[in-house]
Structure 1
Amino acid sequence: MAAKVPVQNDIATNTIGKHIFGLDTKGYQLGRPEYPEGLYAYLRNRGALFSNCRVFEVGPGTGQATRRLLAENVVTLAAIEPDPALAGNLRHACGDALALKVINSGIENAPLEQVSFDLGVAATSFHWVDQAKGLAAAMQLLKPNGYWAMWWNILHDPVHDLFSFEVLPLLKGVDLPPSLSGEMHEHYALQVNARLDDLRNAGFEATEYEVISTEVLMTAKQMRALYATFSMIRRLDETAREKTLSGIEAVVEKKFGGHVKRVFLTPLYLARKPRNVS
């Protein structure tokens, strides 16, 4: 079994997500791909994203989605980031945008004015949040008829992706993050009925689900950099982490000829706060 870095609380409590990604902000920013443009077009077409709207974002990380949302000329973007290192880096990463307000907090106790936002979003982050508490908090922040959108870039998926399947033996024994479960690392965002039930149970209506596919060609070094951003890899001790990442590079070189074609899935869930709920 791979050696792991000791963590004060078990990963099931999700407290690890509040600090582990900030251990290497530069590596995270370089290793993670951007979200597809079709996602933002979908939000615009549904009327959820528009100029001068007020937005809050849960778990912005290094700002992949944040920068793109700011480009839509939103009047306010409240970025709620629990990791202090990521929160401290976010304003610089987003070019000191005037519309950006960074809050080092979890969504459950973020000091924001309730019933004041047109759109709330979570980009590859909401699996770290207690769904009932997090969605209740999001509902309170939104104006009546406001939208909630949550999406994920699925970057490791042994069920649908040959490369992910090939590296599965290298990950045997690691502690899975809350985004993955089971021997085949089933992704949280592809458990569609459960995610839609979460939204409806929280009181949201007009729930929608859409998946966007993006095909990319990646080198061995790019694949190593990507996997190095995963919490299950970051938790390993230095020796085990290096062995695992070197093994991932070797899979690309030996089994895929140095380049591997990946299809990243971006599941999007969109829902609306009822008009008659304050």
Structure 2
Amino acid sequence: MQNKETFNFIPDEYEKFRPTYPDEMFDDIFCYSNAEKKDKILEIGCGTGQATGGLVGKDYKNITCIELGNKLAHFTAEKFKAYASIKVINTSFEDWNGEGSPFKLAVSGTAFHFIDPKFGYRRVWELLEDSGTIGFFWTIHVPKYDEIHNEIRSHYVELAPHLDDSKLQTPEESIDERRTITEDSGLFSNILVKEYNQVLTYTSNDYVSLLNTNSKHRQLSESVKNSLLNRIKNSIDKSGGYIHKDHRVALFLGKKLM
């Protein structure tokens, strides 16, 4: 199962347990892009339409959504069926013919990393109008080292050591890497990175349900995944039944370079 296909089988769980994107982020995107309500927006990898909802919440509804997963595309099409101006196209971004271009703004929420950047940034540049902008954003994992998180980390070390977050990139390294990729494309100027932080609280059940929507967890064998999630749930229950998670979103803005 490829990473970019893992969410297609769990649209309801993804919609229920994944945190939405911060409202102020959409304000920042539209302020930076100077997009008007009538302007055409391209969304790459819409999933269950969480980011789409953020756009619609700001009264921007002229949106073309590209989604590879057929179940996800159907979910989002149903979710926004009241808006005739929102089109959901079930195809890969690589195979899409660019119908409706040029666009004023291209956005992508925790999805653009599935696309080869050498192809992806060039293709987006081609699809944007001359004054077009990008607003790509990702949820960034923030490791914690308190008692409960260290105990949970020990379960990963034993059962899925490649997911031990103490061995992964730091949030700062992840953000710097994406900034560099964006800059090195040579296709966008005035690169601006903004971060949004909050602390989310989960019950043990909701937390393991959230983890079950993560692509790397879903690629584990069923036996390993079930053992891991059960151990995590038991650890949270023993510590009081709740866990606090630092939630960070990084937004990368850029203007089409002519």
TM-score, normalised relative to structure 2: 0.88
User: What's the secondary structure of 1:268's corresponding residue?
Assistant: strand
Cα separation, partners in 2 of 1:184 and 1:142, compared to 1, 3 Å: same
Q: 1:232 aligns with which of 216, 224, 246?
A: 216
Match of 2:77, as an amino acid?
R
TM-superposed CA distance for 1:48, in Å, is: 4.5
Q: Assess if the C-alpha contact under 8 Å between 2:61 and 2:83 holds in 1.
A: no
The answer for the alignment partner of 2:6 in structure 1 is: 20
Distance 1:93 1:138 in 2: 26
Matched length: 255
The Cα of 1:188 is off from its aligned counterpart by 7.5
Which of 124, 138, 145 is residue 152 of structure 1 equivalent to? 138
The answer for the alignment partner of 1:171 in structure 2 is 156
Alpha-carbon shift at residue 49 of structure 1 (Å): 4.4
- 1:99 aligned onto 2:85: yes
The answer to whether the 8 Å contact 2:104/2:129 transfers is yes
Q: Is this contact kept in 2: 1:81–1:105, CA < 8 A?
A: yes
Are the structure 2 counterparts of residues 19 and 193 from structure 1 closer, same or farther at C-alpha, using a change threshold of 3 Å? Answer: closer
- C-alpha distance in 2 between matches for 1:211 and 1:76: 26
Does 1:270 find its partner at 2:246?
A: no
Change (3 A) 1:122 1:165: farther
The residue type paired with residue 251 of structure 2 is L
1:114 and 1:140 in contact (8 A); partners too: no
Moved beyond 3 Å, runs of 4+: 47-50, 160-166, 172-176, 180-183, 187-190
8 Å CA contact 2:191, 2:255 repeated in 1: yes
Residue deviations 1:72-108, cap 9 Å, x none?
3335211111112211222112344212111122222
Matching residue of 1:216: 200
Q: Structure 1: 5+ residue runs without aligned partners?
A: 1-6, 8-15
User: SS at 1:236's partner residue?
Assistant: coil
CA deviation after TM superposition for structure 1 residue 208, in Å = 0.4
**Partners of 1:48 and 1:147 within 8 A in 2:** no
Pairwise CA RMSD: 2.5
2: distance between equivalents of 1:49 and 1:166?
47
Partner residue, 2:111:
125
Of 224-233 and 18-27, deviating more is 18-27
State the distance in 1 between where 2:71 and 2:166 align.
32
Taking structure 1 as the reference length, the TM-score comes to 0.82
Q: Percent identity?
A: 24
Give me the whole-angstrom Cα distance separating, in 2, the residues matched to 1:113 and 1:161. Answer: 48
1:13 corresponds to which residue?
Answer: none
- Between the aligned partners of 1:165 and 1:185, the Cα distance in structure 2 is 15
The correspondence of residues 131-210 of structure 1 with structure 2, limited to 5 A, is 131-154=117-140, 156-158=141-143, 160=144, 162=146, 165-172=150-157, 174=160, 184-186=167-169, 190-202=173-185, 203-210=187-194
Q: Is the 8 A contact 1:181 1:188 kept in 2?
A: no
Unaligned runs of 5+ in 2: none
